[in-house]
Amino acid sequence: MTLAVEFDHVSRHFGAVRAVDDVSLAVEEGCFFAMLGPSGSGKTTCLRLISGFERPTAGHVRIFGQNSETIPPNRRPVNTVFQDYALFPHLSVRENVAYGPKMAGVDRRRREAAAEEMLALVKLEGYGDRKPAALSGGQRQRVALARALVNRPRVLLLDEPLGALDLKLREAMQEELKTLQQSLGITFVFVTHDQGEALSMADRVAVFNHGRIVQHGTPQEVYERPRTRFVADFVGSANVLSPELSARAGGPGRWASLRAESIRLVAPPSGRLSGTVRTVRYLGAGHRVSVSIGGDDLVVILPAATAPPPATGTEVGLDWAAEALHEMEPDA
């Protein structure tokens, strides 16, 4: 197993701001690795540490086993796709894509051929003569991708690359990016604040908060077993049970998570808890039922195939399999 990128207790502090704070991680070659976290959690700084635009205040970043401090940024086998694409407005699409090879001293014929090949790869054949301003947002995104890939990086860094696209285009690009990554076999380090995006695309997810990794694992591990309340809240629709509520439900008497789709509605007084239906919302694929239990609300997702949802104000029992309730650690 080759490690493409390794962080060994890496920190990057800006004065009192701990942008990245004692982060250790390992990205295997060929992996689609997502860094997921809210704005300001240190994701972009991590990418800049890999590309060499930042240096660690402490710790080491290794790229394919080599200490990165010994490799100047322009010699690292790494390219970045930026959130705002950073295309040159005065250059044509072809010249934008050929820019990296031009800087590397590749002659005109060869670099233009390479640019055309990359434009075909991102399905932009015939667009080479246009200026970026004459493209849609999705097309500009593809040019940015082609411009990074033309340099044949071993690691592609993507900083919220789909953030500016509307939902439908974003979903289409998610699939295309995943397919592209698999067919090229390049390591992707993909930064996003969108949990759905991270879960659906990545092989491994690292969840960031305040410059630290609070959990990493497969998308399933992170989704099904959030380690802390922060992860449960940030990564999905998990209910968070207070120690009191968890104890009343026969649980461990500590903070616990319980996925909304793991809960079944039963006739009271059976079930682990009972409460009153507060709201029912139609989701298309099912219903989202909010049940008030004392001061707490628990959310239940009912698949559309089950019986019709209960009416607001109904008393209901809530039941679930014992293993659906996961104990959590306190937030650091």
**Contact predicate 208/40, CB 8 Å:** no
Site pattern 35..64 for ligand ADP (x: CB under 6 A): --x-xxxxxxx-------------------
Give the Cα separation of 82 and 79 in Å (integer): 10
In whole angstroms, the minimum distance from the beta carbon of 304 to ligand ADP comes to: 37
By beta-carbon proximity to ligand ADP, the closer residue of 327 and 331 is 331
Binding residue for ligand ADP, selected from 4, 5, 10, 19, defined by CB under 6 A: 19
Give the Cα separation of 331 and 169 in Å (integer): 35
DSSP for 233-297, written as a single string? HHHS-EEEE-HHHHHHTTS-SS-EEEEGGG-EEE-TTSSSEEEEEEEEEE-SSEEEEEEEETTEE
Cα 256-258-264 angle, rounded to 5 deg? 140
Contacts of 312 (CB under 8 A, 6+ apart): 277, 278, 279, 280
Stretch binding ligand ADP (CB under 6 A), from 14-22, 83-91, 92-100, 220-228: 14-22
By beta-carbon proximity to ligand ADP, the closer residue of 14 and 282 is 14
Q: Which does 219 bind (CB under 5 to 8 A by kind): ligand ADP, Mg ion, none?
A: none
- 3-class DSSP assignment, residue 129: coil
Site pattern 174..203 for ligand ADP (x: CB under 6 A): ------------------------------
Longest Cα pair distance anywhere in the chain, in angstroms?
78
Would you state the structure tokens that stand for residue 260, as one six-digit string?
């909304």
Closest CB to Mg ion belongs to which residue? 44
Stretch binding ligand ADP (CB under 6 A), from 13-21, 91-99, 149-157, 260-268: 13-21
Residue 23 binding ligand ADP, by CB under 6 A: no
Q: Which does 183 bind (CB under 5 to 8 A by kind): Mg ion, ligand ADP, none?
A: none
Q: Which does 80 bind (CB under 5 to 8 A by kind): Mg ion, ligand ADP, none?
A: none
- Report whether the peptide linkage leading into residue 132 is cis, meaning its omega lies within 30 degrees of zero: no
Pairing of strands 286-293, 296-303: antiparallel
Residue 212 binding ligand ADP, by CB under 6 A: no
By beta-carbon proximity to ligand ADP, the closer residue of 17 and 172 is 17
By beta-carbon proximity to ligand ADP, the closer residue of 54 and 112 is 54
In whole angstroms, the minimum distance from the beta carbon of 44 to Mg ion comes to: 3
Q: Which does 14 bind (CB under 5 to 8 A by kind): ligand ADP, Mg ion, none?
A: ligand ADP
- According to DSSP, residue 329 is labeled B
Q: Which does 257 bind (CB under 5 to 8 A by kind): ligand ADP, Mg ion, none?
A: none
How many other C-beta atoms are found inside a 10 Å radius of the C-beta of residue 199?
A: 18
In whole angstroms, the minimum distance from the beta carbon of 233 to ligand ADP comes to: 17
Q: Which does 45 bind (CB under 5 to 8 A by kind): ligand ADP, Mg ion, none?
A: ligand ADP
What DSSP element (H or E) covers 318? strand 315-319
Contact positions toward ligand ADP, by CB under 6 A? 14, 17, 19, 37, 39-45
